[in-house]
Homo-oligomer: A and B are copies of this chain.
Amino acid sequence: MSLNRNVSSIASLISDPSRAAILLHLLDGRCHPAGDLAAAAGITPQTASFHLAKMAELGIVTVEKHGRHRYYRIAKASDAEMIEQLLSFAGPVPVISLRQSDQMKKLRHARMCYDHLAGEAAVRIAESLQRAGHLQKDGLQLHVTASGERFFADLGLDLPQLRKKRRAFSRCCLDWTEREHHLAGALGQGLTELMFAMDWFRREEQSRAVRITQEGMQGMAERFGIQLD
């Protein structure tokens, strides 16, 4: 239940390190049980529960009960993008350890931004689609052109179905590692889903990072004209 979501209340949500850690963990778009989030933030389950209740009250997260677990996830894609943007404000994250920089490298390469792809791969895809004239930027919208309609249909996407969803159809999302836009909205989600179905990408366990498969490399080259290494 979204209450009084003014600037201060949103900011104070993220200003607490424990909550920031929880939100960061939830940014992978997956559902997470409360206990996992507590562990991720390094706090007791009670405290995590306290924070999650506060977030739920603001409508940032939603709960799903399954057995004795309660699975939390970020409620709206737009909020996930908001948090992503806040990350970009923090500036270049200082590298602490080699292990961390390795993980960071992976994240920069390809990761989930809630329900759609982000990172270098996603930015390159968005660029390619615009260069080919399939998408056209208009403010924060990304219009699908006539050639784009054919392209996505050919790829196997049901655009009329995606348009029906009660959310923005096709829009830009600022990538905090690349500092460029990638594709978000129903189309971004649908395309990401499709690419996973085609096994172009595979999710890593316990992480937002995404791995590109051999099929993915090939497909990206053939379909989008992108050479990733």
Contacts and interface: CB of A to CB of B under 8 A. Distances in A.
Interface of A: 2, 5-17, 20, 82, 85-87, 89-91, 93, 123, 127, 137, 139-140, 174, 179-181
Contacts of A5: 90-91
B10 A12 contact: no
A157 B121 CA distance: 38
Nearest to A175: B139
A11 B15 contact: yes
A128 to B, nearest CB: 13
Given A139-B180, A140-B180, A181-B139, A15 B20 contact: no
Number of copies of this protein chain within its complex: 2
Contacts of A180: 139-140
B137 A86 contact: no
A217 to B, nearest CB: 24
Contacts of A9: 15
A89 B20 contact: no
14 contacts: A5-B91, A6-B90, A7-B14, A8-B14, A8-B17, A8-B20, A11-B13, A12-B12, A12-B15, A14-B15, A85-B89, A86-B86, A140-B180, A140-B181
A179 B139 contact: yes
Contact of A14 (B11, B20, B137): B11
Contacts of A89: 7, 10, 82, 85-86
A179 to B, nearest CB: 6
Contacts of A90: 5-7, 10
A7 B91 CA distance: 9
Given A6-B90, A8-B15, A139-B180, 20 more contacts: A2-B91, A5-B90, A6-B93, A7-B89, A7-B90, A8-B20, A9-B15, A10-B90, A11-B13, A11-B15, A11-B20, A11-B86, A12-B12, A14-B15, A82-B89, A123-B139, A137-B137, A139-B179, A139-B181, A140-B179
